Structure 1
Amino acid sequence: MLVAAAVCPCPPLLVPAVASGAAPELAAAREACADAVGLLAASRPDLLVVVGPADQAARGPHPQGTPGSFAAFGVDLRVRLGAAPADTEGGERELPPSLAVGAWLLERFGWSDTPVEGLGVGEPLEAERCAEAGRGLGSRTERVALLVMGDGSACRTLKAPGYLDERAADFDAGVARALGAADTRALLELDAELAYELKAAGRASWQVLAGAAEGADLAGRLLYEDAPYGVGYFVAVWS
């Protein structure tokens, strides 16, 4: 059963080495993520699964020890999803960027005891299939925790990656309310087509969370909400 979840944004800029001189701009988000991961640890899960958006090649499960890299962003920095198993160097595939950011957050916190796995989910995945995947995660063991990576709309300002879309602010406000209230129904009712048009990379991840949390009776708390680059970023905890 799901006992706790943390929701964090997944831009590689969250990693100071990638952000370089712009690192201070996401300092508040970074610290909120650290607090959220700390609350995950306090829940004492038997298994932690990091869920995040992924392209087709990186969708599906990523076992403990799978490596990731920020080389594509010009930084020679490697991470690993939890401690590497003794008999393997991890999976054949590398982590997608969202899960690499999640792995970096866990390394920054010093996460070491609980087994860690990853799940890459694709934007085309419809809400019910996302929820089904989440239910499967929630039933893995008695105490499951999720680190859910995903960004809101990328259309909040003229300089945003998706340019300005007047619908973006309302979409992100709805997401923030749902995450802060642990409202699984509201997350499952997010419009997938609108999320795609607004380039909201977190929609599928949040709906996996909603499925995993069904029947868990968790309370939510929003720790951070902002759009420093015209992209909606949220940090929330459910416990």
Structure 2
Amino acid sequence: MGLLAAYAVPHPPLIVPAVGGGQEAEVADTTAAYEEVARRIADHAPDLIVVVSPHAPLYRDGFFIADAETEEGSLAAFGQPEARITTRTDTAFTQAVADRLSRRSIPVAGAPAHHEEIDHATYVPLHFIGQTVDLSQVAVVRIGLSALSPSDHQFLGLSITRAAEDLGRRAVLIASGDLSHRLKEDGPYGFNEAGPAFDRAVTDLFAAGSLRGLFGLDPILCEDAAECGLRAFQIMAGALEGLPFTPELLSYEGPFGVGYAVAAFEVECSPSSTEEEVEAELMEADEAPVRGAHARGACSAVDPLVALARASVESIVGTGQVLPLPADLPDELTGQRAGVFVSLHEADGLRGCIGTIAPTRSCVAEEVIMNAVAAATDDPRFTPVTPDELDALSYSVDVLGEPEPVESLEQLDPRRYGVIVTRGFKRGLLLPDLEGVETAFDQIAIAKMKAGIAPDEDAQLERFEVVRHTLGGQARVY
């Protein structure tokens, strides 16, 4: 038992004949693909359908997961209040997912009072599924997106699959999301060349089953494309992580200036397999990333700064001793001075990050050692790293360039430059190229918050470039 299949689908209300009034004929391929998805879901005979929706309640620092016993929704907002659907929620599953997210300190909440009805991005796929599946006999759990990182969305997906396995649910996941809204001049947001480029990139990934590529798309491309479903698809990618599956792009259309893709990802577990065989297959799939991590570590070179950071953490956590400065380090580590930040991650979530804006030690190597110790033992946001976590940690080391003053936001680029804000004795720094930091305004606001500078207070600005070292820093196990 567990995840049987996942499907990426769009959610244009006009595809429902009661709303479309004939316009649905212009997306006939999408309709046919939707009907194929509905037939496949019926063949799977699920007892749980999980719908990830961009139009469910969205929270900045956590996820919405439906917790009401039942939910109702209609297309009243699109002139069809009589078109209604009622679903029942699997509250045990909801709680199991929430419990898993709590391990990463990710909060979960139900719907606020003003947003209790099923949204249209959930309604549309249920409209088609309801043609082949008796929804009164199947639980439906509605899940929203958040402003958290892509890795947190991936972790939510993994939590969905693990919760279904633990509870013995036969689950199907629906990732509801449109692609670009900028395919045509007369579309919702006009035309931008990023629109077709984004849609090609996503549909190529769907067709190849290369879902990890959804986490490497250019953020500027995604923003310019005015996409809708990427985070829903990232949750789906997390749900399928480690499972053998067969991908298939069933359709793609964009006649109204919005990209509609339907894709199927069928988990490769034969219905004739015994329960023990299925469990063995899933266990093998779960272990595959671990074997891959070991293989990459054995075959890839390791950046000396990353190796030094790992050795420093493992020394202080494993023995309680600060690592002595090794004798065989390259000159670039012992003959130069610079500010350094050491970041530790666990399961793609931050586990510690400490650094120095300017050099405080005799060389970069000593800076790395002491900041690695502090990241593992003295980051006030986290408890100290324990020995049983060491194999699960991944590492990155940022070496800071010389800061230079800037006069305006136009001189900042949050992907290229870090920023330093100073007001009197208060000073805050934010590294470049961080998930969720898209604008210079956001970058400055966060740096001010870290420094204890009020948002409306003036501050001196400096920018700096960073050389980020990650080679060989992946976790030994996942």
Question: What TM-score, normalized to structure 1?
Answer: 0.88
Q: Tell me if the contact between 2:56 and 2:118 (Cα under 8 Å) persists in the aligned partners.
A: no
2:49 match: 48
1:225 paired residue number? 252
Letter in 2 for 1:119: I
Q: In the TM superposition, what whole-angstrom CA distance separates every residue of 1:98-127 from its partner, at most 9, and x where no partner exists?
A: 1121222222333433322111224x3421
Q: State the AA in 1 paired with 2:199.
A: D
Match of 1:80 in 2: 85
Q: Say which is worse superposed, 158-167 or 139-148, in terms of deviation.
A: 139-148
Q: Does 1:100 align with 2:126?
A: no
Distance 1:202 1:238 in 2: 16
Counterpart in the other structure of 1:144: 171
Per mean C-alpha deviation after superposition, the further-off stretch among 148-157 and 68-77 is 68-77
Contact 1:188 1:210 in 2 (8 A): no
Q: CA deviation at 1:160?
A: 1.3
Return the letter of the residue paired with 2:75. Answer: F
Distance 2:39 2:249 in 1: 15
Q: 1:108 to 1:125 in 2, by over 3 A?
A: farther
Report what 1:17 is aligned to.
18
Residue type of the alignment partner of 1:126: S
2:183 is equivalent to residue 156 of structure 1: yes
Task: Give yes or no for contact 1:62–1:95 (8 Å, CA) kept in 2.
Answer: no
Per the alignment, in what secondary structure is the counterpart of residue 80 of structure 2?
coil
Q: Structure 2: which 5+ residue stretches go unaligned?
A: 91-110, 267-478
Spell out, residue by residue over 1:6-32, the C-alpha distance to the aligned partner (whole angstroms, 9 max, x if none). Answer: 111111112111111312112321121
Task: Tell me if structure 2 keeps the 8 A contact 1:5–1:40.
Answer: no
Three-state SS of the structure 2 residue aligned to 1:66 is strand
Give how far 1:177 is off. 1.2
**Does 1:204 pair with 2:231?**
yes
| Partner residue, 1:35 | 36
The whole-number CA distance in structure 1 between the counterparts of 2:141 and 2:252 is: 27
Shift of 1:230: 1.1
Higher mean C-alpha displacement, 68-77 vs 113-122: 113-122
Q: Is the 8 A contact 1:10 1:98 kept in 2?
A: yes
CA–CA distance in structure 2, aligned partners of residues 49 and 84 of structure 1:
10
Amino acid at match of 1:155: R
Alignment-derived partner of residue 436 in structure 2: none
Structure number with larger C-alpha Rg: 2
Question: Which has the higher mean CA deviation after the structures are superposed, 202-211 or 166-175?
Answer: 166-175
Answer yes or no: is the 8 Å Cα contact 1:52–1:148 preserved in 2. yes
Q: Which residue of 2 aligns with 1:129?
A: 152
- Once the two structures are TM-superposed, the CA of residue 81 in structure 1 deviates from its matched residue by 5.0
Separation (CA, whole Å) in 2 of partners of 1:12 and 1:45: 25
Residue 220 of structure 1: how far off its partner (Å)? 0.5
Partner amino acid, structure 2, of 1:62: A
CA RMSD of aligned residues (A): 2.3
Q: Which amino acid aligns with 1:216?
A: L
Rounded to whole Å, the distance in 2 between the matches of 1:110 and 1:116 is 12
| Structure 1, unpaired ranges of 5+ | 86-90
The 2-side partners of 1:182 and 1:81 are apart by 33
Report the equivalent of 1:88: none
Q: Secondary structure at the match of 2:179?
A: coil
Match of 1:214 in 2: 241
In 2, are the aligned partners of 1:52 and 1:99 still within 8 Å (CA)?
A: yes
Aligned residues: 233
Pair 55,137 (structure 1): closer, same or farther in 2 beyond 3 Å? closer
Kindly indicate whether structure 1 or structure 2 has the higher relative contact order, using CA contacts under 8 Å at least 6 residues apart: 1
Identity, % of aligned positions: 29
Question: Hey, what does 2:194 align to over in structure 1?
Answer: 167
Write out per-residue CA displacement over residues 135-154 of structure 1, whole angstroms, 9 at most, x where no aligned residue: 11111223321011100001
Does 2:207 correspond to 1:180? yes
Q: Please name the residue that 2:141 is paired with.
A: 117
- Partners of 2:8 and 2:264 within 8 A in 1: yes
